[in-house]
Structure 1
Amino acid sequence: MTTHVTVIGLGAMGSAMAETFLKAGHQVTVWNRTAGKAGALVALGAHEAASPAEAGELMVISQIDYQAMYDSLAGVDLTGKVLVNLSSDTPSKLREAADWVAGKGGVLITGGIMVPPPGIGQPGAYTFYSGSSDVLSRHEEALKALTDVTYIGADPGLAMLFYQAQLFMFWSGLTSFMYASALAESAGLPVSAMLPYAQETYGGLAGDGPMGFLKHLAAEFEARVYPGEPNSLHMQAVGMQHVVHTFEDAGLDLTVPVALKDLFARADAEGHGAESLGAVIESISKR
C-alpha cells in the first residue's frame, strides 16, 4: 500500500530514510531547515516542500533533538497529523513533546532507531517505538520499509529509554575494548593479540554458558538478591584497584578505569561488600 510520507530533516539519517521510502514505492515529501539538501532525493522522485505545512498525515522526523522539532513546526497546524519522531533526546523530553503535539491536534509516536544510516532498510535493523499502539499499527507497514518495528509501550518516553540504554551499553563496551587494546599496545603487542579473547568475553556475557553473566545478573536484579560466594563485591573492588594501577603503570588514560573503581568502592562502602558484583546496581539506582 502506498503511503504519503513527509520526511522532516535531511541529514545522513533523514536522507537515507527518504530514499528508502521512495524505493519502497511510497509518495515522499521532504523538507529541511537548511535549503539545498533535497536535490538528490528530488531526482529520485521526492517532492521538496516549501514549508512543513505541506506535509501529509504521516510525518517522519529525523533531527538533532526535539527542540529542532519545536523550532520547525512552531507555526504549523498539526491537526490530524501523525508525527513519528526518530530524533535523539531524553525520555522526559519525549513525554513533554507528546503533550505539545497533542495540544496542536496531532499524535506523536516516539522512536529510537538502532542502526546507523547505512543500515536503514537492511535486514536485522530495528527501531524501538512507543506511544499509541493503535496509531502505530495504522502506519506500521510504511515504517517497516525502514526497519523492523519493535513496540515498547504506551509511555512516550520508553522508546528513548531503551534507545539510550542500548547506546550506553554499545559505547561503554567498545570503549572498554579501546582501553584493552591500548594496554596491549603499551606492551608492544598488536591489537589482534587481544581480539580473540575480547570476542570470547563479549560473546560469552550474552550466552547461556558459564560466562553468561547478563542472564544471571538480570535474575539477581529482579530478585534483589546477590549471592556473594565465591566472588564477593569486595574482591572485585580490590581487583579494580589493580586494574587502575596497571593502566597507570602503562602510562595510559585513567578516566574510565578510575570511574569504575570509584563505583565499586562506593558500593563496597555502602555495605554490599559480601554480596556479588550485581549488588552494584543498588548503588547505581540509589535504592
Structure 2
Amino acid sequence: MNNNHDTSVTVIGLGLMGQALAGAFLKAGHSTTVWNRTTAKADRLVAEGARLAPSVGDALTASPLTVICLTDYQAVHELLGATDVALDGTTLVNLTSGSSAQAREAARWAEQRGARYLDGAIMAVPPAIGTAEAVILHSGPQADFAAHESTLGALGTVTHLGADHGLASLYDVAGLAMMWSILNAWLQGTAMLATAGVDAATYAQFARQIAVGVAEWLPGYAEQIDKGSFPAEVSALETDARAMAHLVEESEAVGVNAELPKLIRAMADRAIAAGHGGEQYPVLIEEFRTPRNG
C-alpha cells in the first residue's frame, strides 16, 4: 500500500463533484493537477494550490493517478480517446456514473490503451467529500486499488468490492433501489396517516423504528436466499399477502394512491400461484429475478 501523502493526483472534470474531489485531495496535502473544458471552474482550486493543466494529455502525465468525474461514459471515451492523449502507464479511477456494462467496456477500452483501470461510484453529495460519511466504492484489480488506497482515502471511506469492474455500478443502483423503496414506503404511510391529521414529523419517528427493525432481518433473510431454502420461521408469504390486501384496501378507503402496494401484492400473488405460499417472504427473490415487460 502506498502511504506517501505527497503522492500527486490528477482530477479531470470539475463539476460540483469534481471540484469537491480535487479540494479533498488538496486538503489532504496531495499535489493536485486539474483539467476541465471550461477553465474558469478551476479558478478556486488554483487559488488553493492546484495546478491547471493546459491539456488533457498534460493532465494525465502529471500524476500516476487520475480521477475522472464527467457527465457520462461517452464523454470519458470522447475526451480520453483523442489521438493526442496517451494513457499508457497511468492508473485511471473513473467515478463517472453509468451502468455495469459501461464500466466493464471502459475497463477493456482503457486496458487496451495501456492504462490500469478502476471503476467507482460515489455514495455521497459533494459537501460530504473528504469526510468519513462519504462512501466511495471501487471495483477492479485489487493490486491497483491497494497501490493508491491511501491517496483515494482523502475522499472519504473507500471500499474495494472485487475484481469485476461492474460491481461499483451495481452496488450504486442497488443502493438507490434500497433508498427509494424505503422513502416510497414512508411516503405511502405518511399520505395515509395525513388523512387522520397525523403530520409527517410525527409518523417519521415511528417509521424510523420500523425501518431499523426490518434492517435487522436482512442477514437471516440473505442466508435463506443464498441457500435457496425459505422455511416460514416468522410468517408464510400467504399470510403476508393478506396483510398486503389490507394495505391496498385501507389506502383506497382513505383516498390514497394504492399503486405501490398493488404492485407488491401482484408479485406475491404470482409467487403464491407458483406454489410458494407456505414459504417465507424472501422467496419473492424469484419474482425480482424474473424480467417482465410493461
TM-score using structure 2 length: 0.89
Structure 2 CA distance for aligned equivalents of residues 256 and 220 of structure 1: 25
Corresponding residue number in structure 2 for 1:139: 148
Pick from 57, 62, 71 the counterpart of residue 69 of structure 2: 62
Structure 2 CA distance for aligned equivalents of residues 253 and 12 of structure 1: 36
Cα distance, 1:149 vs structure 2: 2.2
Corresponding residue number in structure 2 for 1:250: 254
1:240 to 2:244 alignment: yes
**Correspondence 1:78-157 to 2 at 5 A:** 78-157=87-166
Pick from 16, 40, 48 the counterpart of residue 36 of structure 1: 40
8 Å contact kept, 1:220–1:278: yes
Q: How far does the alpha carbon of each residue in 1:178-204 deviate from its partner, in whole angstroms, 9 at most, with x for none?
A: 222122212221112212221211111
8 Å contact kept, 2:124–2:133: no
Cα distance, 1:278 vs structure 2: 1.1
Corresponding residue number in structure 2 for 1:189: 198
Structure 1 residue matching 2:154: 3-state secondary structure: coil
Q: How far does the alpha carbon of each residue in 1:61-93 deviate from its partner, in whole angstroms, 9 at most, with x for none?
A: 112322221122121211111110112211111
Cα distance, 1:171 vs structure 2: 2.0
Structure 1 CA distance for aligned equivalents of residues 263 and 45 of structure 2: 46
Q: How far does the alpha carbon of each residue in 1:31-72 deviate from its partner, in whole angstroms, 9 at most, with x for none?
A: 223443212111111122232111232110112322221122
Structure 2 CA distance for aligned equivalents of residues 33 and 238 of structure 1: 57
Runs of 4+ in 1 over 6 A off after TM superposition: none
1:11 to 2:18 alignment: no
Structure 2 residue matching 1:36: 3-state secondary structure: helix
Pick from 45, 55, 78 the counterpart of residue 71 of structure 1: 78
Structure 2 residue matching 1:187: 3-state secondary structure: coil
Structure 2 residue matching 1:110: 3-state secondary structure: strand
The structure with higher relative contact order (CA 8 Å, sep 6+) is 2
8 Å contact kept, 1:33–1:72: no
**Correspondence 1:207-222 to 2 at 5 A:** 212-222=216-226
Structure 1 CA distance for aligned equivalents of residues 150 and 232 of structure 2: 49
- Decide which moves more: 91-100 or 105-114: 105-114
Structure 1 pair 28–217 and aligned structure 2 pair: CA distance change class (3 A): same
Structure 1 pair 106–180 and aligned structure 2 pair: CA distance change class (3 A): same
1:228 to 2:232 alignment: yes
Structure 1 pair 48–253 and aligned structure 2 pair: CA distance change class (3 A): farther
1:205 to 2:214 alignment: yes
Structure 1 portions without partners, runs of 5+: 207-211
Structure 1 pair 229–3 and aligned structure 2 pair: CA distance change class (3 A): closer
Q: How far does the alpha carbon of each residue in 1:203-246 deviate from its partner, in whole angstroms, 9 at most, with x for none?
A: 1123xxxxx31122111111111113662112222321221232
Equivalent AA in structure 2 for residue 186 of structure 1: T
Structure 1 pair 9–253 and aligned structure 2 pair: CA distance change class (3 A): farther
Equivalent AA in structure 1 for residue 31 of structure 2: Q
Cα distance, 1:154 vs structure 2: 0.9
Aligned residues: 282
Structure 2 CA distance for aligned equivalents of residues 217 and 126 of structure 1: 25
8 Å contact kept, 2:12–2:35: yes
- Decide which moves more: 136-145 or 125-134: 125-134
Structure 1 pair 241–35 and aligned structure 2 pair: CA distance change class (3 A): farther
Cα distance, 1:110 vs structure 2: 1.0
Corresponding residue number in structure 1 for 2:273: 269
Structure 2 CA distance for aligned equivalents of residues 148 and 230 of structure 1: 36
Structure 2 CA distance for aligned equivalents of residues 230 and 177 of structure 1: 23
The root-mean-square deviation of aligned C-alpha atoms, in Å, is 1.8
Task: Give % identity.
Answer: 40
Structure 1 pair 19–230 and aligned structure 2 pair: CA distance change class (3 A): closer
8 Å contact kept, 2:14–2:42: yes
Structure 1 pair 154–190 and aligned structure 2 pair: CA distance change class (3 A): same
Structure 2 residue matching 1:140: 3-state secondary structure: helix
Structure 2 portions without partners, runs of 5+: none
